[in-house]
């Protein structure tokens, strides 16, 4: 059994059990299954279920157009949506597209999340913001000249 | 191993921007040691919790995709001078860390 098959199997098992309940619940358990998914649509489905996803002007990404070093790419996501519940960062072409997310407390925290992420190659970077029943997103292509995944 | 955690609170528009820097290797588990050829075990921060005066403001989920020495920023609303902002993190090897800062 090769590694890919094994991981796919793991992801499927996780999909059967873990992902049915909300992975993003406030009782924080590290969502292991999310990090094992290998494609962006799977990640979005695992995060938000069937909630409608739409590009929105209420979400903006501040990131370099070109990253000289894929190991450190600064990303800053801001949203003007007042009821933002979570902000997630997904890199389409990374081996594990789900990078990081933050759960916000509407009223107590503003719509901002910044992190430095690793990117294996030039890819689309998307930010998903959950607000109410809807998911708002923004995306940007970042060119990577030197990869940051693996040695 | 102990990892240093630093926090900075900046006053900005509509709240305070909180930046947290942890000196942490954030190993993916994919890298190999150049000399021995052995895989370096994965070691990364999983969860980071920000609290304002003891109540949770934001909880971040991190993984292998976050860079070495992660710098995580969030925004806290309604913090007043003298309020305490606290951050705690936990990694996949069960190590923890954190720090506290007072809003100026």
Per mean pLDDT, which range of A11-20, A21-30, B2-11, B34-43 is the poorest?
Answer: A11-20
Does the beta carbon of A99 lie under 8 angstroms from any beta carbon of chain B? yes
B28, B64, B77 ranked by CB distance to A107: nearest: B77
pLDDT of residue A32 exceeding 80? yes
Residue A19 confidence (pLDDT)? 41
pLDDT of residue A20 exceeding 50? no
Question: How many of the other CB atoms lie within 10 Å of CB of A95?
Answer: 14
Q: Please give the angle made by the CA atoms of B4, A110 and A140, to the nearest 5 degrees.
A: 85
Structural domains in chain B, sorted by start: 5-102 (2.60.40.10)
Most A-contacting residue of B12, B26, B57, B61 (CB-CB within 10 A), to test interface: B61
Does the beta carbon of A70 lie under 8 angstroms from any beta carbon of chain B? no
A28, A100, A102 ranked by CB distance to B65: nearest: A100
B59, B75, B92 ranked by CB distance to A112: nearest: B75
Mean pLDDT of the A38-57 span: 90
Going by C-alpha positions, the residue among A122, A129, A116 that lies closest to residue A65 is: A122
Per-residue pLDDT of A84-117, as tens digits, reads 999 999 999 998 999 999 999 877 888 899 999 9
For residues B45 and B60, what is the distance between their CA atoms, to the nearest angstrom? Answer: 10
Q: Please give the angle made by the CA atoms of B68, A23 and B97, to the nearest 5 degrees.
A: 35
Is A84 in a helix, a strand, or coil?
A: strand
What single-letter DSSP state applies at residue A18? Answer: G
Q: Does domain A3-144 correspond to CATH entry 3.90.650.10?
A: no
């Amino acid at each position: 059994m090769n590694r890919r098959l094994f991981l796919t199997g793991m992801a499927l098992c996780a999909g059967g059990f873990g992902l049915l309940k909300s992975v993003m619940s406030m009782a924080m358990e590290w969502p292991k299954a999310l990090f094992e998914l290998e494609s962006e649509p799977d990640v979005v489905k695992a995060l938000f279920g069937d909630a409608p996803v739409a590009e929105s002007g209420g979400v903006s990404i501040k990131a370099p157009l070109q990253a000289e070093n894929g190991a450190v790419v600064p990303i800053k996501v801001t949203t003007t949506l007042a009821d933002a519940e979570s902000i997630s960062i997904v890199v389409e072409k990374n081996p594990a597209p789900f990078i990081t997310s933050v759960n916000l407390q509407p009223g107590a925290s503003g719509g901002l999340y910044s992190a430095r992420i690793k990117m294996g190659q030039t890819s689309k970077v998307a930010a998903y913001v959950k607000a109410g029943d809807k998911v708002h997103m923004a995306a940007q292509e970042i060119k990577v000249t030197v990869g940051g995944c693996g040695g | 191993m102990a990892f240093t955690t630093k926090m900075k609170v900046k006053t900005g528009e509509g709240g305070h921007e909180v930046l947290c820097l942890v000196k942490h290797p954030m190993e993916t588990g994919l890298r190999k040691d150049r000399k021995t050829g052995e895989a370096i075990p994965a070691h990364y921060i999983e969860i980071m919790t920000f609290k304002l005066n003891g109540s949770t403001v934001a909880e971040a989920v991190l993984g292998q995709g976050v860079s070495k020495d992660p710098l995580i920023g969030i925004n806290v609303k309604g913090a007043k001078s003298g309020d305490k902002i606290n951050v705690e993190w936990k990694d996949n090897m069960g190590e923890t860390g954190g720090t506290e800062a007072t809003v100026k």
